[in-house]
């Protein structure tokens, strides 16, 4: 009896293995950096196994290398078509051993075949309060519409562009005199908080993909968790 009890308790105390991440970028990679730092600091029980860019010019690759992360560039332009590029991208992701694919400023529309392959294990971050303002130039569109607030969303990726189940959003107020640049800067600050947060939820088992949708803390997530701006 005693031996069994000891074995059980030591099992319960064994920390689970870090969640392996493949982070896919096209640009500067500030979200990738925030995620990698959160992992390295132990705030998120995950590890960036590989940072993959779709273009040589992605500045985030040098940033990842400076952190000692493994990197790869799969230049989309050098492939004859999208299926060939996506096959190479999937090969790179799978070779990394990652369990979760993190799109972080990846500027390409993925095919339904690709999104189905990573169903429930691929995240994206989009700079709007989805479902509002799917697509590009969200800050400019928010300003043109005269909206009082704006925000950013982390969601699971499905075949519909910026359309997968919403997980966590952060809202900010649009202030008089705001420009696309000032909005972008404040949105990015929030991005660097909420993206590691969602990965932490998954790494700690709080958030799962089950029965075709997200479940948080044992309940189907019907609408995203909303993080309001702290009063300043
Ligand atoms: C972010 O604003 C994100 O919302 C969008 O692309 C941008 C990437 O920024 N999908 P970075 O490369 O992580 O700095």
d(CA 201, CA 47): 14
pLDDT band per the 50, 70, 90 thresholds, residue 88: very high
Which atom of ligand 1 is found nearest the CA of 103?
A: 10
**For ligand 1, is residue 153 a contact (CB within 6 Å)?**
no
108 exposure class (CB count in 10 Å sphere: 0-12, 13-18, 19+): middle
Provide DSSP, 121-146. Answer: SEEEEESSSTTSS-SS-HHHHHHHHT
Q: What is the mean pLDDT of residues 134-138?
A: 98
pLDDT recorded at residue 136: 97
Say if domain 18-118 classifies as CATH 3.40.50.170.
yes
126 is catalytic: yes
Do residues 215 and 208 make contact, with C-beta atoms less than 8 angstroms apart?
yes
Mean pLDDT over 39-46 rounds to 98
Separation CA 143–CA 38 (nearest Å) = 32
- Give me the sign of the Cα torsion angle 85, 155, 162, 147: negative
Distances (CA, A) of 144 to 25, 149, 183: 28, 12, 13
**CATH hierarchy code of domain 125-153+160-232:** 3.40.50.170
Q: Boundaries of CATH 3.40.50.170 in the chain?
A: 18-118, 125-153+160-232
Percent of the residues in the chain that have a pLDDT greater than 90, as a whole number? 91
| CA–CA dist 31, 124 (Å, integer) | 11
Please tell me if the CB atom of residue 126 comes closer than 6 angstroms to any atom of ligand 1. yes
Q: How far is the CA of 140 from the centre of ligand 1 (A)?
A: 15
31 touches ligand 1 (CB under 6 Å)? yes
Q: How far apart are CA 5 and CA 63, in angstroms?
A: 47
pTM over 0.85: yes
Give mean pLDDT, residues 142-170: 98
Please name the residue whose Cα sits nearest to atom 8 of ligand 1: 105
pLDDT number for residue 3: 39
Q: Residue 227, by phi and psi: left (phi above 0), alpha (psi -120 to 50) or beta? A: beta
Q: Is residue 6 over pLDDT 60?
A: no
Report the distance separating Cα 180 and Cα 109, nearest Å: 23
Side-chain half-sphere CA neighbours of 54 within 13 A: 22
- The whole-number pLDDT of residue 232 equals 58
Q: Is the Cβ atom of 190 under 6 angstroms away from ligand 1?
A: no
**Is the pLDDT assigned to residue 14 strictly greater than 80?**
no
Q: Please check whether residue 168 is in contact with residue 224, taking contact to mean a CB–CB distance below 8 angstroms.
A: yes
Task: Report the C-alpha dihedral over residues 116, 54, 50, 28, rounded to 10 degrees.
Answer: -120
At 1, is the pLDDT very low, low, confident or very high (cuts 50, 70, 90)? very low
Q: What is the DSSP letter of 124?
A: E
Q: How far apart are CA 147 and CA 170, in angstroms?
A: 15
């Amino acid at each position: 009896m005693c031996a069994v009890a000891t074995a059980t308790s030591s099992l319960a105390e064994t920390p689970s293995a870090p969640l392996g991440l493949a982070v896919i970028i096209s640009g500067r990679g500030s979200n990738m950096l925030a995620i990698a730092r959160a992992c390295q600091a132990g705030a998120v029980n995950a590890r960036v196994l590989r940072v993959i860019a779709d273009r040589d010019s992605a500045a985030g690759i040098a940033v990842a290398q400076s952190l000692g992360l493994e990197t790869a560039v799969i230049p989309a332009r050098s492939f004859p078509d999208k299926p060939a590029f996506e096959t190479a991208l999937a090969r790179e992701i799978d070779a990394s051993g990652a369990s979760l694919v993190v799109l972080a400023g990846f500027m390409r529309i993925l095919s339904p075949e690709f999104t189905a392959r990573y169903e429930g294990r691929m995240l994206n971050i989009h700079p709007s309060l989805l479902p509002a303002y799917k697509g590009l130039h969200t800050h400019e569109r928010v300003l043109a519409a005269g909206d009082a607030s704006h925000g950013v969303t982390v969601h699971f990726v499905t075949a519909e562009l910026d359309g997968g189940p919403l997980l966590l959003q952060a809202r900010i107020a649009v202030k008089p005199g705001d420009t696309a640049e000032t909005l972008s800067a404040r949105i990015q600050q929030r991005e660097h908080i909420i993206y590691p947060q969602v990965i932490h939820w998954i790494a700690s088992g709080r958030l799962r993909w089950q029965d075709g949708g997200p479940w948080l803390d044992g309940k189907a997530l019907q609408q995203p968790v909303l993080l309001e701006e702290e009063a300043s």
